[in-house]
Amino acid sequence: MTTKEELLKSVAAKSDEIKLENFEKIVKKPEFDAETRKNAFLAMVDIYIKKMWWNNVARAYNNAADLAKTFGEKQELFFKAGTYFVRADDYFTAEDTFRKSIVLAPKNERTKVLNQVYEVYISLAREYESKKMQTKAIAVYNKSLTLNLPLEKANEIRDRMAILYERIGKPREATQVRQQKTNATEMAKKKLMPEVKDDEDEIQAQDLI
C-alpha cells in the first residue's frame, strides 16, 4: 500500500498535469491494491480543488468511497462526494450520493448526517448570496426544500427565496413562494388539530347551553 502523502511526494516536482497523469495510471491498473488506488483518487482531489473542478472532485471522492474498506470511511467519502456534486450543480447525483452516506451511518447518527446535508445546501446558497449570485442561491435553496425539513426551517428558506426573487425583479415568484409558506403552515396546523366527528360537535355544543 502507498499512502496519499507518499504518492504526492513522488511527483512533488512535477506539474499538475503530469501529477494527474501519474495518478490516473495508478487508478486504472488493477495490479495496484485497492488502498493505493483509493489514495491516488484522494491525491487527485487536492489538484481538482485547486483548479475548482468541482465535478471532478466529487467523482474522485465517489471512486475513493467505492474502494474504501470500512463503512465509516465510505460514509465520510460519500458525504464529501455529495457536497461537491452540489457545488457542481449536479443535484440528482448529489441526492443519490448523500443517500448512500446516510445509509452507511450508524442508525443513531442518521439524523445528524441529514442535518449536515441540509447545512451543505444552506452554506452554499449563502455563499452564492454573498457573491451576488442570487439566481444560483435560489436554485440551491429550492433544492434544499426537497429535503425532509422541519416546517420552521423550510419556511425560513421560503422567506429568503422570496426576498431574492424580489431582488432580481420577479415579484410574482416571490408571491408564489410566500403562498407556499402559508399553505405549508396551514397544512401543519390541520395535522395537529384532532379530528372531531359531527356527533361530538353536537354533544359539545349542548354542554355549552
Reported pTM = 0.81
pLDDT at 209: 34
What's the mean pLDDT in 169-182? 94
Cell numbers standing for residue 116:
449536515
* Residues whose CB falls within 8 Å of the CB of residue 39, separated by 6 or more in sequence, listed in order: 1, 2, 3, 4, 7
8-12, 89-93, 129-133: which has the minimum mean pLDDT? Answer: 8-12
Architecture category of domain 121-193 in CATH: Alpha Horseshoe (1.25)
Distances (CA, A) of 191 to 35, 58, 183, 185, 194: 51, 40, 13, 10, 8
What's the mean pLDDT in 16-20? 89
pLDDT in tens, 39-91: 999 999 999 999 999 999 999 999 999 999 999 999 999 999 999 999 999 99
Q: Supply the mean pLDDT for the chain.
A: 87
Domain ranges of the chain: 121-193
Quick one: pLDDT band at residue 206, thresholds 50, 70, 90?
Answer: very low
pLDDT in tens, 139-170: 999 999 888 788 888 999 999 999 999 999 99
CB-CB neighbours of 160 under 10 Å? 18
pLDDT at 90: 93
- Signed CA dihedral, 183, 185, 188, 192: sign only: negative
pLDDT at 192: 64
pLDDT in tens, 101-125: 999 999 999 889 988 999 999 999 9
Q: Is the pLDDT of residue 18 over 50?
A: yes
- Taking the C-alpha atoms of residue 113 and residue 1, their distance in angstroms, rounded to an integer, is 30
